[in-house]
Structure 1
């Protein structure tokens, strides 16, 4: 839900976008490239897709440096096959992909971060089911748990792409060591540490919810992580599947526990302002005050490794590192909440199928992992490629038999809730709305 021995790793924030406008990054995958000799050894892994040609459009929410890493990860495929990939990354993906489809301008391929949104397009008949060749690669590459997220009424519509670990608490080992702080092992220790940091004159937490049309989602990660830790996977699953209402007392209790941190003026928002500043602080910038000692910790996914400025040392003794948000009841195992993207298609042209096949291979997973700040649940991924220490940390935790893993709850809910009222409700809640009113608002939006 998650990337990771190189004791020192520099995260480069260089960006070479062809065009950046309106929150969208438009990236050509290789137009104008001289290509590569298709008979050369370096092109051997791509031999099956040669002589197809054409151009394939991909639309996703991945932007900035992450988008540039994507472009590099499939460049060799482009050079060796002649199939061009035109990539567009947008901060308004969740809303705009529907606009594109309704307007007859659907992308060939979309990377869906929410299985609930994927299911909506499958139900409407817009998505193309995975052809047999893609399905075979999917079954070879991923566990059934992952494939189930992209299977609707028995039909596989998409394949997993990246995975991310969404229970990371980013911090500065240097800052901790200088002040005698230790990484907490339980929730109670986390609160004790937060109190200590606050008493020392530093806001223990930084946070940010702004993300374009997707504003609010970082706060849903808080709630999901707390519900999983406070109630265990059974109640978590019941909540996600609406077998218990959103305004159930167990969910309200989880909001109250999150309230102790997110709406505590003594705890937030380091480097930016008061509690309300969280709603207008971008999630990309929210964790950066850690580097200046203006806040102590930041709950954010493993993908945040790509956001640290050039020259930042990511390691257990460096500028930044991460730990798993501690359990509330350690006897229940190690709770982990994660997410990922799924490759769905609105077209079945041969070149589109070819790109879908390539993205479902271990070859692609290893090429993307080599670019850094990324992890996949693909069983063929070579973990030795993962140079970012937090990536390896996440991989180790996910492979631990004591880990209790669940996919991001809002991503599994119907899109109008998970990517709609839940996001908006969390913004209202951060801005001071009563918890009961927030829960009722979300519950009333959920169709029976």
Structure 2
């Protein structure tokens, strides 16, 4: 079988079988470069975007190194959000399902928002692997329920997000209680300068692998950019959402207040919508994700907090209520659609102040198509509206156009004879007449179109 390409990593047979069942054939670039390093006990930094296969690049060698006969914590995997921790745990379970009965490996998911007493009770027998949020793990370590002093492997997934959300201190608490001979694996889309002190504290000569995707976003995503103009934004987004009739659309906002406003407006318009942001109670967030996974929701309004934590099948449309301040989030947002070879469309509502951000995305390789949405119909624009980069700009005004294109009249030669002065006219009369004529001509051209 083609999955035998993974055999050269000398992985346990059940892992090869698990890969075959999921249809994985060739290792990705990051897997090719990191699995041997992790297998040999090196600290690693994997710098890559979503969809590069980084999760398997650490799960496979970790599972290969776990001793199923030793009932103590051997590996700790941390994530910034409950949703992402849940996804990592789901991927782990897919591999563990193929464990032989006499070599069963136990794993536990430990995240905030769940019953603390139940979590403590579940740890009476220590699992070999724990996956979860650093805050909950730190609490359970303080309670002496979770014993990580035996663990020699630590994964910090989405480290830049950990830093942004203020969770690095919790990761530090967990790492400081682990075995002295600690092997740390850090994965992140970016490696901010503020992360360096933490990395230097725990890592020794790490193998740093940076994988740039061939395309900044999936090639089968159409990026439509739409001017807001003078329209009321929430009303416009509701009209846009109604027009697309998606299988599942995610509407991304920059704040939870915006998410609530948009979700309320969409609900008021009769749309099947749910919301997901940090302001919800853990129980509510779990209920929403369950509805999404069961395809009982057509529209999900979410903040960037959930952008890296949503990995559901069937997302056909992304709607950006506005561009994010951190443009990496644009890549993460649109990465929720066009998966597994399917097509997807990403709509972005832009305003004049978004010009610089759009220019940066264009330079990064995002190919926008320019559209407007008028009276329930999509209108493709031949060129970008005024002030939008990437296309030839139109003239600022008709008058400016006249000034730059009208040549000064040549003076007639008279052979030295006196020439009668032309009659006086009101100031700027000719200019106004030319302006009026040009405006009328433009109106006629539009009418013909």
Fold in common (TM above 0.5): no
- Normalised to the residue count of structure 2, the TM-score between the two structures is 0.33
More helix by share: 1
- Normalised to the residue count of structure 1, the TM-score between the two structures is 0.33
- Identify the structure with bigger relative contact order (alpha carbons < 8 Å, sequence gap 6+): 1
